[in-house]
């Protein structure tokens, strides 16, 4: 099942994508794709609906982030060994964690702002994991039971802010529009193996990133279990699981984003994003 949120920012409505690629309005059944709607029993009720009986959404509305009410975005750094190498950093013995604020969320086709004073704005295609049930001290062999589904995330970063301005990474990760999410939340039952998905990203038609979740240092189940030791994961929280090689910082010479460019990115079965970069 592919769940979608459509409409103006802050006023998105819930929908699902039918077998023909049309949006079907779920407003009569759930208030949003958020919170309790992500619980296993709630998703099962939606799964039993006949999409043909739901109102068709006409036109081409804006597509918002595929999850509402996001409390936190937990990101994993250096989770692909080849990306760590291109960054000049060692593969960590445990997952490196940092947070992006919910204010950085935007839709998969919204403009991405290049911050004022930016010198090294960069891209990162990632697999997003959406939590469906409260997870605290979850054993790894049960961790995937707490996952509602998966989505595409672009972990946009400003490397000078991240690495050259003292302190933790958050300065370079937190700007408005630095977390495009979606277009769809693909429920976990439709993703047989999250460790067998291809990821890619292009800027202005040039393919920079091509990778696979098969090469993650720490897999999805381990990450859910590990993070739940340090903080409770709530329904709607997103884990952004790290990026494969090919980021701008790793090019020789480095290549960074500027206003007026187009990013396209995707993950197998989870859809594609497209963003235009604009000056903040």
Structure tokens at 186: 């693909």
Q: Please report, in tens digits, the pLDDT of each residue of the chain (280 residues total).
A: 999 999 999 999 999 999 999 999 999 999 999 999 999 999 999 999 999 999 999 999 999 999 999 999 999 998 988 777 777 777 889 999 999 999 999 999 999 999 999 999 999 999 999 999 999 999 999 999 999 999 999 999 999 999 999 888 889 999 999 999 999 999 999 999 999 999 999 999 999 999 999 999 999 999 999 999 999 999 999 999 999 999 999 999 999 999 999 999 999 999 999 999 999 9
- CATH fold of 73-279 reads Fumarylacetoacetate hydrolase; domain 2 (3.90.850)
Q: Give the domain ranges of the chain.
A: 2-53, 73-279
CB-based contact 154:73 (threshold 8 Å): no
Give every strand in the sheet of 185-187, ordered side by side: 23-25, 13-17, 2-6, 185-187, 147-154, 125-131, 238-240, 73-77, 96-100
Q: Is 28 left (phi over 0), alpha (psi -120 to 50) or beta?
A: alpha
Q: What is the DSSP letter of 209?
A: E
Whole-structure pTM over 0.85, yes or no? Answer: yes
The residue with tokens 């407003």 is 27
């Amino acid at each position: 099942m592919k769940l979608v949120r459509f409409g103006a920012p802050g006023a998105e409505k819930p929908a699902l994508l039918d077998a023909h690629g049309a949006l079907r309005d779920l407003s009569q059944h759930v208030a949003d794709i958020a919170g309790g709607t992500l619980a296993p029993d709630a998703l099962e009720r939606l799964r039993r609906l006949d999409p043909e009986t739901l109102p068709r959404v006409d036109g081409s509305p804006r597509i918002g982030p595929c999850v509402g009410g996001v409390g936190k975005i937990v990101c994993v750094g250096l989770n692909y060994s080849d990306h760590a190498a291109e960054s000049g950093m060692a593969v960590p013995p445990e997952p490196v964690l940092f947070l992006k604020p919910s204010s950085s969320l935007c839709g998969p086709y919204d403009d991405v702002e290049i911050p004022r004073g930016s010198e090294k704005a960069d891209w990162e295609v990632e697999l997003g994991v959406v939590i469906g049930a409260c997870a605290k001290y979850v054993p790894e062999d049960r961790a995937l039971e707490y996952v509602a589904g998966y989505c595409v995330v672009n972990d946009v970063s400003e490397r000078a802010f991240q690495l050259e301005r003292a302190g933790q990474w958050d300065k370079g990760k937190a700007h408005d529009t630095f977390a495009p999410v979606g277009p769809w939340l693909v429920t976990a039952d439709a993703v047989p193996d999250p460790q067998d998905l291809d990821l890619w990203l292009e800027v202005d038609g040039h393919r920079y990133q091509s990778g696979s979740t098969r090469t993650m240092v720490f897999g999805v189940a381990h990450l859910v279990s590990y993070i739940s030791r340090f903080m409770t994961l709530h329904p709607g929280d997103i884990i952004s699981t790290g990026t494969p090689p090919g980021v701008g910082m790793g090019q020789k010479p480095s290549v960074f984003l500027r206003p007026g460019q187009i990013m396209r990115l995707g993950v197998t079965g989870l859809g594609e994003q497209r963003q235009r970069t604009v000056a903040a």
